[in-house]
Chains A and B, each alone.
Chain A
Amino acid sequence: AVGAPDALAAPVTVLVAFLGWIIGDYAHRYLRGEPGQRRFVTAYLATLAAVGAVIASDHLALLVGAWAASSVGLHQLLTFYRERPAAVVVAHKKFLASRLAEACLVAAMVLLVREWGSLDLAVLGARAAGAPQLPWSAGAAAALIAVAALLKCAQLPLHGWLIQVMEAPTPVSALLHAGVVNLGGYVLIRLAPLISASPVAEALLVVVGTTTAAAAGLVMLTRVTVKVRLAWSTCSQMGLMVTECGLGLYDLALLHLLAHALYKAHAFLTAGEAVLAAGERDLLDSSDGATRAPTAWTQTQALGLTLLLVAGSAALWHRWLGAPALPWLSGALLSCGLATLLWWPLARRRHGGRALIALVAAAQLYLGWHWLLSTSIPVGAPAAPGPLAAWSLLVFLALYYAQLPAGGRVPAALAGRAYDWVYAGFYLDERFTRLAFRLWPVRTPPLASRPPPAGRSSRTRSPA
């Protein structure tokens, strides 16, 4: 039940193989001297193999089985330091979320088999595409699959496990954030015909995805450690990826999946350079322009200008080069991001030319990726603009303005309260933690009885 790699599986397979090589080589030296390296390698390879199987399978049962196996393999990596209570608590939280997701997937499979008699992905796709309207049970199955993807992509409110996995060695974080958490997006793209035929599934993905993208994005701004910041960033980026799936922008979702994996693997593996970054920040902050901060009006100007440039570029690519038209929502989302390049030049009235060149170049790059991917992966056209698209636009616009916590724009007391809520991650994770404790208690050893680090024998050295 493993098909030949198609235009979708091929790039993702290459990605996972590449990351598996880079991260594995890194871990080999990074973990030198740690007990349990054999256990690590076994679990690492098993996890990679399971991820490979998810990508290669063309049968839903196999895919779900492999997905569950990848989660079990990852569990071993997350509890690499079994003596750390915090590591075990997080692993339990992840375990619960994953099993819940798998329960959804099994239920979905039962519904699909009863309805269409097959779990072959090609058959499911054809049936879903062929039906003018999905039968009730297939619709429910699609919604269940969407829920499973949301759970596995660490979307709110069961995201806590992803944030707290810093209790495992750095390469495990890199693997999880770059190669495992995004499988939810891959499965959604794989099942695009089914998902896009189910308005409920799409609504779930868009509502939860946008909310997570925006909320987690804001939380990220307040994080005080490098790795936890990266984790919230992943949470937010996965939110955007599932939103893109829910909006039918599957080529973008694939681009996001691939690019985010590379970006995040690099960020985690170089997390030790945070101290250099702090030094760089000192140097940058000492340049005199730092005094004039952008305002909401600057933000609006930046966004307007960027929208014009992006729309113009897209029109040129479409007209002159014959590239497929850029969905307006994609253009708007891109503009929200690229517009940040103009904030400081507009606020300081300096370096405007350089920023514009960077902006236009980045836009062309994006249009190039869009052309390449939308013509190579076999997924249907994006849905027509509807309430989901409007909702997404509103959320991302709100985020665009909210992410600049400028002093003075809001009263200090209000800003303080807002900070408290955002810094607390909106108090979303505590109940989940408590539940995890209740369902699967963690034995926490008293501090004093922790085994001292192993040291077989001291060195023999004399002064002579």
Chain B
Amino acid sequence: MNPARTLPSPSPSPSPPPLAAAIAAACAAVAPSWPLDRQIAVNPYWGFIDRPFVEAASTLRRLIGARFALPAAEYLAAWRRGTITAAALERAMAEHGVAATAEQAVAALQAGGDPAAGLPLPSDVLDRHAAHAGPRWRETITQQVSQYCASYFDRHQADWHRVRAGGLYAGWRDGLRVDHALEPLMHAPQIRARAAALPDGAEDAIGWALDRLGIPPQEATEFLQLCLLRINGWAAWCAYLGWEAGLAGGTDPHLRELLAIRAAWEALLHDDLDAAGGCAADWREPWVRRRVAAGPPSADWELIWQRAHEFGYQDGLARLLAGTGPARPAPGATPAAQLVFCIDVRSERLRRALEASDPTLETRGFAGFFGLPIQYRPLGTAAARPQLPGLLSPALEVSDSTGHPDADAAVAGRRRAALDGTSLWRPFLRSPSGGFSLVETLGLGYAGALLRRHFGAAAASTASLGLRADDAKALRPRLLPADRAAAARHADLVAGILRAMGLTQGFARLLVLVGHGSQSANNPQAAALECGACGGHTGEVNARVLAGLLNDPDLRTALGERGIDIPAHTLAVAALHNTTTDEVALLDLAQAPASHADALQRLARGLEAAGQRTRAERAPDLGLAGLVARPPALLRRLRARARDWAETRPEWGLAGNASLIVAPRARTRGLDLAGRAFLHDYDSDGDRDGARLELIMTAPMVVAHWINLQYYASTVDPERFGSGNKVLHNVACGRIGVFEGNTGDLRIGLSRQSVHDGERWLHEPLRLSVVIDAPRARIEAVLRRHATVRRLVEHQWLHLFRFGEDGLEWYRDGRWAVWRSPAPAP
């Protein structure tokens, strides 16, 4: 279970590559994008981590005019405010090898540069020379490919599907040969005739296109990359299919077929260039020129300022962490309860508040799937969903159970019958004739539905669809199969999890596993607010399964044989942190023994107080500063917000995330990290062989980095790597993604409403600062062993620090240097 070993990451390409290598390299540069119902965060530049951040920025800028920094005005404002200090700016310039004064840096930033347009394709030249007003090829091609892909991949929206014969590319080619839309729309009857010449196979088509366009082999990769970037959303979807296939040990053809489609389009239009008054040389010229162009592009100044911004944050973080020693004693005896939270930045606030309101509690940070590599299949259905990070593939299955196989079968049967009965409405609800009668019989009833939603009624939950209320109550998610043979495997699994948590002794009376989930209504991107470690779902299933296992007497015996003794008085409890309202629900309490009632009550009180503090802290960013003094009103407002069908910003999710701290809680306890830090517990003394650190640096650190870069990209380049304006979102294929408006490319990343409140950015794009409390050699050993992790660090996709004797040490160019913060600003 070592994900980084399986992480596909781009390899340096030899020059000049043959066709297959060029195709492979272009496809490897596309980062996957998960579907909406499991929308976990991804670094959209994942395919570029084989080169330094700055180089990736200039490559993407050259190719498509991508942006890697905020508009200049943002940095100037930060400069004037003092958020970016002269010292930070100086260090950023030094790091970029630029010698200039602060005044010169300000002037250079203000001067800005030409907005990069990216390299042209033949279709762009045609658009430029178009004789008549009409739709542009650029949008027409995007729309044609996008609509075709949507109809090809859709399984959840339409009632009548495209026949998928021959694959993505072949279907497109056959469709183009009989197309009747381009002639009236683009006055391009020739396309249909030319489509007849398209080769049969995808790879042949790419070769054919490169030939016709006269692209030399050494430029093929870049040209193909550009083709894919022009249809980036669907490319990311195809890359996701490839990712999933890769986890299952297979391959997926769709990305290269999509590439064939997009490249073929350019070749089909190539012959029109001369007729349109341009010439074939027009589009090639910038390609040739770009290699000659020299001198520092203006974007570099933006990146220098961006780096200075990061230095500013890191100085503050270093100052804050400097005061904490490793030897701070744990608070007295065994805590009243141990609560294990997800590393999610939203846990930081609640943990801090909880510890402040009840010092006898101990909190820990661990990936919110609690180490369970599971998929969850609701009882009586075949709809399994992964409940683990996207880096892993599920190894075990969880389903609901009453604990008695016969009763389970009965419940499953009832549910299947109920679902079957519900589905008989489908033709009436969805067919045209049915729709006519639906309107003329039940249509007026929708006045009631409108009123209910207007007054904040939640949409019907689909989670328990088909389940009777009493059946639902009797069910708990359990690991399958529950037989004797599996018991030993389960014990090994749980022992491994507890060791990874560093929880092998000193158990408190309550061991609480706190998963988290978000609550919002009418929100296509709701999964982006859920637990990323649980595959974009709430952590409820994982928390309940692990708590159930830990309370199982047989499993405890087996754990004892494995050297972990959980005392009889320890009760494991699952809990769910609602990140919209910051309420924490303790789950499955019906089974809790009476002996723990007092402890549970006390815990509940602590959680309530902590929730109140956390809400007060979050209120200003939600525009609710006025309610801070009235906690009950604030809670009511947040609950209403969670159910509001017109709310586009139910909560701020992981906005603001900037650091990951891998250390014992003693290092950070009592510090206000402002909800910007992922916190992973790690005790280096208990990890002599470095196996735990290796796991942390290859899985949670990569996940945190993905989240960090998703927010980064959605903020600095919302047009290309964000999903645009939420009020225009139009869900495509039920779950695959959103279009912004009518059509266009599939959109990936976060909406503008996720990072911007209408007046200001709520997310500061800062690359992740990772601070690890471990010996130098142990960290370096992980870097040596894992090329992917090494690339992230050495290419500055994240910044790596460790706790040293004299404050933080910074890993740079293969060496550790003591971090020197300037004196804090007065």
Contact A404 B431 (CB under 8 A): yes
A318 interfacial contact with B, CB 8 Å: no
Contact B757 A222 (CB under 8 A): no
> Which A residue sits closest to B175, measured CB to CB?
A420
Known: A226-B730, A362-B442, A457-B74. Is A233-B139 also a contact (CB below 8 A)? no
Whole-angstrom CA separation of A34 from B151 in the bound complex: 32
A427 / chain B contacts, CB cutoff of 8 Å: 180-181, 184
A311 interfacial contact with B, CB 8 Å: no
B339 interfacial contact with A, CB 8 Å: no
Contact A224 B150 (CB under 8 A): yes
Contact A223 B133 (CB under 8 A): no
Whole-angstrom CA separation of A442 from B130 in the bound complex: 13
A456 interfacial contact with B, CB 8 Å: yes
Contact B436 A279 (CB under 8 A): no
Contact B316 A424 (CB under 8 A): no
> Which B residue sits closest to A236, measured CB to CB?
B432
B465 interfacial contact with A, CB 8 Å: yes
Instruction: Identify A236's interface contact among B313, B435, B672, CB under 8 A.
Output: B435
Known: A438-B133, A455-B71. Is A366-B440 also a contact (CB below 8 A)? yes
B383 / chain A contacts, CB cutoff of 8 Å: 279, 282-283, 286
Instruction: Identify A275's interface contact among B161, B165, B734, B761, CB under 8 A.
Output: B734
Whole-angstrom CA separation of A437 from B449 in the bound complex: 41
B522 / chain A contacts, CB cutoff of 8 Å: 269-273
Contact A455 B435 (CB under 8 A): no
Instruction: Identify B156's interface contact among A278, A350, A461, CB under 8 A.
Output: A278
Contact A260 B116 (CB under 8 A): no
Contact B446 A274 (CB under 8 A): no
> Which B residue sits closest to A26, measured CB to CB?
B646
Contact B320 A284 (CB under 8 A): no
| B419-458 near A? 1/0 per residue, CB < 8 Å | 1111111111011111111111111111101110110000
A430 / chain B contacts, CB cutoff of 8 Å: 181, 184-185
* 9-residue interface stretch from A2-10, A101-109, A340-348: A340-348
Instruction: Identify A462's interface contact among B132, B162, B316, B445, CB under 8 A.
Output: B316
In the complex, what's the smallest C-beta–C-beta distance from B418 to chain A, in angstroms? Answer: 9
B203 interfacial contact with A, CB 8 Å: no
> Which B residue sits closest to A348, measured CB to CB?
B420
Whole-angstrom CA separation of A333 from B432 in the bound complex: 12
Instruction: Identify B421's interface contact among A166, A272, A354, CB under 8 A.
Output: A354
Known: A224-B150, A399-B433. Is A450-B81 also a contact (CB below 8 A)? no
Bin chain B's interface residue count.
Answer: 35 or more
Whole-angstrom CA separation of A233 from B138 in the bound complex: 29
| A311-355 near B? 1/0 per residue, CB < 8 Å | 000000000000000000000011011111101110010110011
* 9-residue interface stretch from B87-95, B362-370, B673-681: B673-681
Contact B158 A337 (CB under 8 A): no
| B754-765 near A? 1/0 per residue, CB < 8 Å | 001111111010
B73 / chain A contacts, CB cutoff of 8 Å: 455, 457
Contact B453 A283 (CB under 8 A): no
Contact A337 B378 (CB under 8 A): no
B462 / chain A contacts, CB cutoff of 8 Å: 276, 279-280, 283
B417 / chain A contacts, CB cutoff of 8 Å: 287
B515-529 CB contacts (< 8 Å) to partner A? 521-524, 526-527
A220 interfacial contact with B, CB 8 Å: yes
* 9-residue interface stretch from B470-478, B594-602, B735-743: B735-743
> Which A residue sits closest to B461, measured CB to CB?
A276
Whole-angstrom CA separation of A86 from B139 in the bound complex: 9
Instruction: Identify B151's interface contact among A222, A270, A338, A339, CB under 8 A.
Output: A222
Known: A272-B523, A280-B462, A412-B165. Is A224-B433 also a contact (CB below 8 A)? no
Whole-angstrom CA separation of A406 from B67 in the bound complex: 48
A85 / chain B contacts, CB cutoff of 8 Å: 139
Whole-angstrom CA separation of A81 from B157 in the bound complex: 27
Instruction: Identify A262's interface contact among B117, B443, B646, CB under 8 A.
Output: B443
A206-250 CB contacts (< 8 Å) to partner B? 213-214, 216-218, 220-229, 233, 236-237, 240
B506 interfacial contact with A, CB 8 Å: no
| B139, B421, B431, most chain A CB atoms within 10 A | B431
Contact A270 B734 (CB under 8 A): no
Whole-angstrom CA separation of A441 from B742 in the bound complex: 20
Instruction: Identify A417's interface contact among B159, B178, B430, CB under 8 A.
Output: B178
Bin chain A's interface residue count.
Answer: 35 or more
B115-129 CB contacts (< 8 Å) to partner A? 115-118
In the complex, what's the smallest C-beta–C-beta distance from B578 to chain A, in angstroms? Answer: 18
A290 interfacial contact with B, CB 8 Å: yes
Contact B433 A461 (CB under 8 A): no
Whole-angstrom CA separation of A405 from B310 in the bound complex: 57
Known: A274-B731, A287-B419, A463-B320. Is A263-B439 also a contact (CB below 8 A)? yes
Known: A448-B117, A461-B764. Is A423-B156 also a contact (CB below 8 A)? no
> Which A residue sits closest to B381, measured CB to CB?
A286
Contact B154 A453 (CB under 8 A): no
Known: A263-B439, A279-B37. Is A340-B444 also a contact (CB below 8 A)? no
Whole-angstrom CA separation of A4 from B446 in the bound complex: 28
| A352-374 near B? 1/0 per residue, CB < 8 Å | 00110010001101100100000
Contact B184 A341 (CB under 8 A): no
Whole-angstrom CA separation of A210 from B136 in the bound complex: 35
> Which B residue sits closest to A422, measured CB to CB?
B160
* 9-residue interface stretch from A118-126, A184-192, A251-259: A251-259
B823 interfacial contact with A, CB 8 Å: no
A115 interfacial contact with B, CB 8 Å: no
B12 interfacial contact with A, CB 8 Å: no
Known: A275-B526, A396-B433, A442-B133. Is A334-B440 also a contact (CB below 8 A)? yes
Contact A341 B427 (CB under 8 A): yes
A409 interfacial contact with B, CB 8 Å: no
Known: A455-B71, A464-B319. Is A277-B734 also a contact (CB below 8 A)? yes
Contact B427 A289 (CB under 8 A): no
Contact B437 A284 (CB under 8 A): no
Contact A455 B761 (CB under 8 A): yes
Whole-angstrom CA separation of A458 from B83 in the bound complex: 10
B427 / chain A contacts, CB cutoff of 8 Å: 294, 340-341, 343-344, 404
Contact B132 A32 (CB under 8 A): no
B288 interfacial contact with A, CB 8 Å: no
B631 interfacial contact with A, CB 8 Å: no
| B519-543 near A? 1/0 per residue, CB < 8 Å | 0011110110000000000000000
Contact B449 A337 (CB under 8 A): no
Known: A224-B147, A271-B731, A455-B70. Is A412-B163 also a contact (CB below 8 A)? yes
Instruction: Identify B36's interface contact among A84, A275, A366, CB under 8 A.
Output: A275
Contact B443 A259 (CB under 8 A): yes
Contact A274 B734 (CB under 8 A): yes
| B158-200 near A? 1/0 per residue, CB < 8 Å | 1111110100000000010011110011010000000000000
Contact A33 B758 (CB under 8 A): yes
B134 / chain A contacts, CB cutoff of 8 Å: 434, 437-438
A351 / chain B contacts, CB cutoff of 8 Å: 420-421, 424
Whole-angstrom CA separation of A34 from B759 in the bound complex: 9
Contact A341 B424 (CB under 8 A): yes
B526 / chain A contacts, CB cutoff of 8 Å: 275
Whole-angstrom CA separation of A149 from B741 in the bound complex: 27
In the complex, what's the smallest C-beta–C-beta distance from A181 to chain B, in angstroms? Answer: 14
B719 interfacial contact with A, CB 8 Å: yes
A265 interfacial contact with B, CB 8 Å: yes
In the complex, what's the smallest C-beta–C-beta distance from B572 to chain A, in angstroms? Answer: 29
Contact B674 A433 (CB under 8 A): no
Q: What 6 pairs between A and B have smallest CB-CB spacing? A: A33-B758, A337-B437, A259-B443, A217-B432, A278-B734, A441-B133
Q: Can you give 6 contacting A-B residue pairs, CB < 8 Å?
A: A220-B432, A223-B158, A272-B521, A286-B382, A340-B428, A455-B71
Known: A25-B646, A228-B742, A464-B671. 20 other contacts (CB 8 A): A22-B451, A26-B646, A84-B741, A224-B157, A224-B158, A225-B733, A256-B439, A262-B444, A270-B645, A274-B524, A285-B423, A286-B383, A334-B440, A337-B437, A337-B440, A340-B427, A396-B433, A404-B427, A458-B760, A464-B674
